[in-house]
Amino acid sequence: MGRRASREIAMKLLYQLEIQKDNREEQVNSVLEEHELNESDVKYINEVVIGVQDNMSYIDEIIEKYSKGWKINRISKVDLSILRLSIFEISYRDDIPFNVSINEAVELAKKYSGEESGAFVNGILGKVSQVRLISTDTVQDE
pLDDT in tens, 50-90: 999 999 999 999 999 999 888 899 999 999 999 999 999 99
Measured CA to CA, the distance from residue 27 to residue 93 in angstroms comes to 24
Helix (H) or strand (E) holding 66: helix 56-66
For the whole model, what pTM was predicted?
Answer: 0.89
Domains of the chain: 3-141 (1.10.940.10)
Q: Residue 15's closest CA among 70, 84, 102, 96?
A: 84
CB of 105 within 8 A of CB of 83?
Answer: yes
